[in-house]
Chain A
Amino acid sequence: MRQRPLLVALLLALLLAGVIMASLLSGSSEVKAVDILRALLAGADSSTPAGAIVWHIRLPRALLAAAVGGTLSLGGLVFQARLRNALAEPYILGVSGGAAVGAIAGMLAGLAMFPGVALTSFFSSLLVMALVLLLARGRATSRSESLLLAGVMLNAFCSACIMFLLSLSQSSQVHHILFWLMGDLSMAEPGQMWLFPPLFACFFLILIHARPMNLLLTGEESAAALGLDVRRVTWILLGVTSLMVSLVVSQAGLVGFVGLVVPHFFRLCCGPDHRVLVPACILGGGAYLVLCDLLARSLPAGGEMPVGVITAMIGAPIFIIMLWRTRT
């Protein structure tokens, strides 16, 4: 059951490259595969229609999906490890509620999706998250429950705000907002590629904390007895994770389920070692969301459905089967 980190990473990187390729080759406009490959090789400034489709629509969307999937999976992994709670997910610290309130307020105010709504949702999610951390701070950061409770409570309050805002809005806007709430990658454009440098920095910071995360899994006192500065590592992990999750949420809405299922899936098949799990979640989570997005935009006859629908429809059954087969 114990896998080597490099081998797992390599296999999943190949998988990710494969699904990105597949998603480049399929779409609503009928372009021949040969034309797409030629446009890819020609570079970003090729002026053919195929080049425009690949470089301006399909590739940004596939890359955004990979970034969102990888980030949310990694976020779930970190929160599950740090809070030592199997049900923790990347939105647990109020990131989702905060982002949603900000985004909906932005949409209702008539701001453009980018950068207007992205900014309002990013900052409101950071605000709520900071509030959660602050609330839990006085009562010993070590105690996972106080963080969880503060997150759940603020998320509930935000949900009420969302419903309030929705009931104020006109029906023409509601469809748009609902799509965003279920996760929506259709807004992807080349301009969003600035997302990658900060995300990679976050991935790196978490990757070098893989061993401390292993120690944390054995319990806080046990980790401290092994020389880990639990408080400092906690702040780094929670801070970095919240930041990267707010970043992707502000771009793609609330894509659910990925962050809960992907870490558990890899834990069930690779064991609890974070030196394997961190790269596996980044690459595997990315591949999973690219695949889901591919299905989300090719399954319905006309148009597309929110990717969050697919992530849950595929993820839940796979997860249940895995759980069923690994019972002792």
Chain B
Amino acid sequence: MNCLMVNSITVRAGTRTILNRLECTVRAGDFLVIIGPNGAGKTTLLKALCGLVSVSSGEIKVMGRPLADYSRRQLAATLALVPQNLNLEFAFTVEETVRMGRAPHLGLLERERQADQAIARQAMAFTDVAHLADRCLNQLSGGERQRTMIARAICQQPKIMLLDEPTASLDPAHQLRIMELMQRLRREEMMTVVMVSHDLNLAALFASSILLLKEGAALCAGPPAEILTQDNLRRAYGCAMHVDVHPCTGTPRVSLVPGGAS
């Protein structure tokens, strides 16, 4: 079943066209990684999927239903976003932050129930931040903060999780932990994961499919082995890269070549 269908959408900001008649589909249970050069429209696509930017033409369907038919709250209960930038000026604790994930399930006058708190605790345990519950977000390391935000998204109990470069600025061990967390989300919570990333090798190792964007349109989409070819990467990034086979997993491995970008 297709849980996300993007039907020829165009997104404009002023006179600039950011997404240009973009098409893509995501099947339930997929782990889609969106890659592409800076300015290709990756983040904008993610925002369009969760209704944060308006689409000037085309249509998005979430779980078979047009995005426009969802209320903000219904959408947040179906689709969770882990944003790239966080405001840390007024810092909440980890537990307070994760519990905010219950917001789409609560009315204006409704109070959090025991069940809501239990869901928040489970989410914190799932991403291994339970021991940090009373720490303030601005006292955490980058990896801990990212896991907290993922716990908040899990707490929304969505069917689809969208993440905007969750591994950026993390060390290799933490990058791996985040990616393995995503795999567990797919297997144990039956979630569909859509992630924007610049890390081609992480995408090759973990994605079930890859969408390669260029200048606001899909250059190609499919399983990593089909998409991560020297030819495609040169066309997308304008940069020669060497692609061979990962010695341990057999998935594509992308290496940068000095002078390749000139």
Contact = CB atoms under 8 A, between A and B. Distances in A.
A225 B49 CA distance: 11
B59 interface: no
A225 B87 contact: no
A214 interface: yes
Contacts of A86: 89
Contacts, number: 76
B36 interface: no
Nearest to B153: A225
A93 B87 CA distance: 23
B72 A229 contact: yes
Interface stretch (A18-26, A129-137, A216-224): A216-224
Contact of B83 (A209, A219, A229, A267): A219
A271 B135 CA distance: 12
A302 interface: no
Given A209-B108, A218-B86, A273-B96, A225 B91 contact: no
B99 to A, nearest CB: 10
A273 B87 CA distance: 15
Interface stretch (B74-82, B118-126, B180-188, B222-230): B74-82
B76 A84 contact: no
A66 to B, nearest CB: 26
Contact of A222 (B86, B91, B104): B86
A225 B97 CA distance: 13
Nearest to A210: B108
Going nearest first, the 7 A-B pairs with the smallest beta carbon separation are A227-B76, A227-B104, A225-B81, A227-B73, A219-B87, A272-B90, A226-B103
Interface of A: 2, 81, 84, 86, 208-209, 211-212, 214-215, 217-219, 221-222, 224-229, 267, 271-273
Interface of B: 47, 50-52, 72-77, 80-81, 83, 85-87, 89-93, 96-97, 100-101, 103-104, 106, 108-109, 134, 156
Given A81-B90, A211-B106, A217-B92, 4 more contacts: A84-B90, A222-B83, A225-B81, A227-B103
